[in-house]
Amino acid sequence: MNSVNNTDAAKPAAGLSINKRSRSWWSAPLREVLDLAFPPRCLLCEVIDYSSNSHSGSYCSECAEQLCPLPINRCLCCGAEIGLYSMSENGCTHCRHRNLRFESVTCLGMYEGPIRKAILAAKWSFSAVPIRSLGRLLATERREELQLLKVDRVIPIPQHWRQRVFRHFNPAWIIAEEIASALQVPCDAHLLYRQRQTRAQKRVPVSQRFGNQAEAFSLQDMHVVDGERILLVDDVLTTGATCSEATKLLRQNGARECHVAVLGRVLDSSA
């Protein structure tokens, strides 16, 4: 009886492997035909690029290099570029006098030039493809830096429900999904939520931005993060007020550490 059952159980698996082989047989030629009919264009320079790979995603190799420059010397606390020989164990000139509660910031680069152009285009696109491509770049090009954090959970900075009515997607959520997939840890997009709508940070004076975010967040389940290392994800970081307020709540509910990952680090507070 057992031998009969084992043979029967093996049949679907064999059929599945045959289906996989058949799909691989026609999927490669199909991709070539689609690339010929709809040539891949770089989302940044719009030049047709046939050499795109999994790392650059929707960007040509030259633009991908511009979007993830090699970090020369960045502040250990806020991620800002600082002088080549500057020390930042206690923060830098950009964050030393701010009450930042998170431990570190990982980013593609400073919010300027190609990075600024790509982020703005992705955030206001009707499609989520550009922001997902940037999230994949962040996840792949900064993988080693992110792996060293040994985080247990990835949480995107949430939008208020009124924002979701007018926005096609939450950029932070999409970026967080790409990072969580690369790190093979859970992405919890519903744990943290905004309990009140705040004014857009760029419309608030720098001196009032921490107050603007005060008590803005709440948790669905207060016991989930107990003892965990959390990675908060957003699209950009300027003063750090939003992520710092979220960190405050997570630490109050038992989180061991909170780190931040963003696409761009904004040094000009008027941006």
Question: Which tens digits make up the pLDDT trace of 54-92?
Answer: 444 588 888 888 998 888 899 989 999 998 878 888 889
CB 122 within 8 Å of CB 37: no
Say if residue 242 is exposed, middle or buried (CB neighbours under 10 Å; 0-12, 13-18, 19+).
buried
CB 89 within 8 Å of CB 245: no
Spatial CA neighbour of 129 closest among 87, 70, 91, 171: 171
For the record, the structure tokens of 152 come out as 């247990």
CB 105 within 8 Å of CB 78: yes
Instruction: Inform me whether the pLDDT recorded for 167 exceeds 80.
Output: no
Instruction: Identify which has the larger pLDDT, 196 or 203.
Output: 196
Instruction: Inform me whether the pLDDT recorded for 7 exceeds 70.
Output: no
Q: Which residues have CB under 8 Å from 44's CB, separation 6+?
A: 59, 60, 63, 66, 67, 114, 117, 118, 121
Q: What mean pLDDT comes out for the span 102-118?
A: 96
CB 56 within 8 Å of CB 66: no
pLDDT grade, residue 3 (50/70/90)? Answer: very low
What pLDDT shows up at residue 88? Answer: 82
Across 42-191, where does the E strand assignment appear?
105-110, 153-156
Average pLDDT, the chain: 84
What pLDDT shows up at residue 33? Answer: 53
Type of residue at 247: T
For the record, the structure tokens of 228 come out as 């965990």
For the chain, percent of residues with pLDDT exceeding 70: 80
Instruction: Inform me whether the pLDDT recorded for 197 exceeds 60.
Output: yes
Spatial CA neighbour of 74 closest among 100, 101, 99, 106: 106
pLDDT grade, residue 165 (50/70/90)? Answer: confident
For the chain, percent of residues with pLDDT exceeding 90: 54
Instruction: Identify which has the larger pLDDT, 91 or 174.
Output: 174
Type of residue at 231: L
The tens digit of pLDDT for each residue in 15-48 reads 444 454 445 555 556 555 555 445 567 888 877 6
Q: Which domains does the chain show, CATH number per domain?
A: 70-265 (3.40.50.2020)
What pLDDT shows up at residue 29? Answer: 61
Q: Please report how the helices 129-141 and 171-183 are oriented relative to each other, as an axis angle in degrees rounded to 10.
A: 40
pLDDT grade, residue 203 (50/70/90)? Answer: confident
Distances (CA, A) of 30 to 24, 34, 41, 51, 55: 10, 6, 18, 17, 22
Instruction: Inform me whether the pLDDT recorded for 106 exceeds 70.
Output: yes
The tens digit of pLDDT for each residue in 118-164 reads 999 999 888 999 999 999 999 999 999 999 999 999 999 999 887 77
- Rg over alpha carbons for the chain, rounded to the nearest Å, is 22
Instruction: Inform me whether the pLDDT recorded for 183 exceeds 50.
Output: yes
Spatial CA neighbour of 80 closest among 266, 271, 270: 266
